[in-house]
């Protein structure tokens, strides 16, 4: 890709994206630039990734073909006000801020600026992110593929309608927290059965990762995969019965409903 990708904000998510881009090889170090507030962060990010890091967001805006706003949602308006007179012609501004809507971008960016809403999740930090992307403008097929390719360097990416983004928050954005709770509970139960704590976390985490890969790579329905593990009168169906009795699935669904409702209330 012969485009310059700029990142305003060099925190954990920004660095996860930068790392994925550079590891993938779809762009060279000279085509990735960033900005940061402190001299310490500027030096650290520059040395770690071998890229140019600016202290001035406007320098970034002048040079970027794709400009990713990787700052906290409450900082978006301040950043856009600061850079609006220095955006490169033809630039595509991409937000990864929770609650930031396409209408908000349209309202606060100069007329004619193109913009995209993206929602990656924290597993992007280990190259296993899931990103949802929404647009309300016309992008060419090649350009849309370029945008998707940026986010696919650190996981998977799918295009969705913006109205679906609150559901995406529940199923992907916030869900790593639910899975961490599941792993922790599984490990505690393993310790109760006499397994050493460190091994318990390894067994639990690997089992969850393996099960997820089975769903993604086989294309088999999760219910069918579950059935294949449940032998008649066996240990697994006994555990599944207990989970059903304790409201496991309804608890997950209710948690996701409340998560999506909260996401809707935060949108601006």
pLDDT in tens, 220-235: 999 999 999 999 999 9
Cβ atoms of 130 and 148 within 8 Å: the answer is: no
At the top level of CATH, the class of 173-266 is mainly alpha
Cβ atoms of 64 and 5 within 8 Å: the answer is: yes
**In whole numbers, what is the pLDDT of the chain averaged over residues?**
96
Smallest CA-to-CA distance from 30 within 57, 49, 9 is with 49
Q: Where does 5-163 sit in CATH, by number? A: 3.40.50.720
Distance between CA atoms of residues 208 and 202, nearest Å: 10
Q: E strand or H helix at 160, and its extent? A: none
Span(s) in the chain for CATH 3.40.50.720: 5-163
Cβ atoms of 33 and 57 within 8 Å: the answer is: no
Smallest CA-to-CA distance from 261 within 168, 166, 171 is with 166
DSSP 25: T
Torsion angle of the four alpha carbons 154, 141, 263, 183, in this order, in degrees rounded to the nearest 10: -30
Span(s) in the chain for CATH 1.10.3730.10: 173-266
pLDDT tens track, the chain, 268 positions: 889 999 999 988 999 999 999 999 999 999 999 999 899 999 999 999 999 999 999 999 999 999 999 999 999 999 999 999 999 999 999 999 988 999 999 999 999 999 999 999 999 999 999 999 999 999 999 999 999 999 999 999 999 999 999 999 999 999 999 999 999 999 999 999 999 999 999 999 999 999 999 999 999 999 999 999 999 999 999 999 999 999 999 999 999 999 999 999 988 7
Does residue 130 sit in helix, strand or coil?
strand
Gyration radius of the chain's alpha carbons: 21
Does residue 144 sit in helix, strand or coil?
helix
Cβ atoms of 59 and 34 within 8 Å: the answer is: no
Task: Dump strand ranges (E) for the chain.
Answer: 5-8, 32-35, 52-54, 66-69, 92-95, 114-119, 129-134, 155-159
Whole-prediction pTM value?
0.91
Smallest CA-to-CA distance from 119 within 79, 76, 153, 166 is with 166
Tens-digit pLDDT profile for residues 80-120: 999 999 999 999 999 999 889 999 999 999 999 999 999 99
């Amino acid at each position: 890709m012969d485009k310059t990708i700029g990142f305003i904000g060099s925190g954990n998510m920004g660095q996860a994206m930068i790392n994925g881009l550079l590891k993938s090889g779809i762009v060279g170090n000279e085509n990735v630039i960033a900005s940061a507030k402190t001299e310490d962060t500027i030096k650290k990010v520059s040395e770690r990734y071998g890229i140019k890091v600016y202290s001035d967001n406007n320098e970034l805006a002048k040079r970027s073909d794709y400009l990713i706003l990787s700052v906290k949602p409450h900082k978006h308006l301040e950043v856009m006000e600061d850079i609006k007179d220095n955006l490169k012609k033809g630039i595509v501004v991409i937000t990864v801020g929770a609650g930031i809507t396409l209408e908000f971008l349209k309202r606060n960016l100069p007329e004619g600026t193109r913009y995209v809403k993206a929602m990656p999740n924290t597993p992007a930090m280990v190259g296993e992110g899931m990103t949802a992307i929404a647009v309300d403008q016309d992008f060419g097929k090649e350009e849309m593929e370029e945008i998707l390719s940026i986010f696919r360097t650190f996981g998977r990416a799918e295009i969705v309608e913006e109205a679906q983004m609150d559901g995406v928050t529940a199923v992907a954005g916030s869900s790593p927290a639910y899975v961490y709770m599941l792993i922790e509970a599984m490990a505690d139960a393993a310790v109760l059965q006499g397994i050493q704590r460190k091994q318990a976390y390894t067994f639990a985490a690997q089992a969850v990762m393996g099960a997820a890969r089975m769903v993604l790579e086989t294309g088999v329905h999760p219910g069918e995969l579950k059935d294949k593990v449940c032998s008649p009168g066996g240990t697994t169906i006994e555990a599944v019965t207990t989970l059903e009795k304790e409201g496991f699935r309804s608890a997950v669904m209710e948690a996701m409903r409340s998560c999506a409702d909260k996401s809707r209330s935060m949108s601006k």
